[in-house]
Copies of this chain bind each other. A is one copy, B any other.
Amino acid sequence: MPGEKVTSVDVAKRAGVSQSAVSRVFTQGASVSPKMAEKVHKAAQELGYRPNVLARSLITGRSKIIGLVVAYLENQFYPDALEKLSNALQAHGYHILVFMVSNEDASVDKVMGELLDYQVDGIITASVGMSNDLAARCAAAGVPVVLFNRGQDDDRLNQVTSNNFEGGRQIAKFLAASGHERIAHIAGWSGSSTGRDREAGFRVGLKDAGLELCACIDGMYKRETAAAAAIELFSGSDRPDAVFVGNDHMAFAVMDVLRFELKLDVPGDVSVVGYDDVPLASWPAYDLTTLRQPSNRMVEATVATLLGWIEDGSTSIQKIQIDGPLMVRGSARIPQGWNDERL
């Protein structure tokens, strides 16, 4: 391999100008004469020169890299968000450096260290929390953090979520309105704010309707755990007639168990409602009634917050909650006149 690194010095030499001139031509907002710009561009073109982002970052303190920490991509919500985040950031000249973590242990902290080594301009964590100790370090390093789809009390951390409490309540209202009487919940991981908030809202919603949760199991946001929970809940004869599952990913597992293992009819025997509205939820094989997390708007808010912090020096902590609609589909009995009421 030839391995010809062509630098601004080479370009300067060929164009017969100084290195600083070359630098200015490639720097946004520096003043150069049209004549100079043309000369330099020509030389650069001929040599195939492109500025070295890393070297630049050394001096500007801006790496144009955003670190994304994510636990797993199995739940379709996250690849979808990742794609949208990447596109949005790319449009602003930033790119995403990916860090996979296992959510359970302290690997988050370890990985975050590596993250800072890369001098990232900002950090987005999707579906993972972080230790306060770590939050402090990021704050000290001046690196803004946005928790995407996860809340945390630490007041140094921005966060963007859907309105999980309200979402849970809305689902309760819906299930109550269609006359269900034994309503169960397979909750999101209780170690996560999203899981806890959805459950809390759901309970309040049921209470408002004069109902009470007949059973509640932590599904850990995992397919296997949710499936096991479904078997436990629905094997007996006094089974629930409706279940709110903490996210779509688990809801699919639950529907699989209900229909193919326990031979129950959905929604005839059991109504199932999920949370997220991932693309798969609308496919007819599942046709899942679910509360939409508006990923577009969540991504928008995340990017806006991050860039505001990085480029405009904003320092106000944002705790953004975005409302989403209930997508009424075929997996749950529909209350009479539901559509009318909502017009």
A residues near B (Cβ < 8 Å) are 1-5, 48, 50-55, 57-58, 63, 65, 68, 72-74, 76, 78-80, 82-83, 86-87, 90, 95-100, 111, 113-114, 116-119, 137, 139-142, 252-253, 255-256, 259-261, 279-280, 283-286, 315
Count this chain's copies in the assembly: 2
- For A50, list chain B residues within 8 Å (CB): 113, 116-117
Q: Is the CB of B48 within 8 A of A58?
A: no
- For A259, list chain B residues within 8 Å (CB): 284-285
Please judge, given known A-B contacts A73-B80, A80-B73, A119-B54, whether A141 and B284 are in contact too, CB under 8 Å.
Answer: no
A100 to B85: give the CA distance in the assembly, Å: 10
A100 to B338: give the CA distance in the assembly, Å: 41
**A184–chain B nearest beta-carbon distance, Å:** 21
Q: Is the CB of B2 within 8 A of A65?
A: no
**A28–chain B nearest beta-carbon distance, Å:** 14
Give the residue of B99, B100, B285 whose beta carbon is less than 8 angstroms from that of A256.
B285
**A24–chain B nearest beta-carbon distance, Å:** 18
Give the residue of B78, B100, B119 whose beta carbon is less than 8 angstroms from that of A86.
B100
**A153–chain B nearest beta-carbon distance, Å:** 20
Please judge, given known A-B contacts A86-B98, A139-B1, A142-B3, whether A117 and B51 are in contact too, CB under 8 Å.
Answer: yes
Among A54, A76, A78, the most chain B Cβ lie within 10 Å of the Cβ of A54
A98 to B95: give the CA distance in the assembly, Å: 7
Q: Is the CB of A97 within 8 A of B95?
A: yes
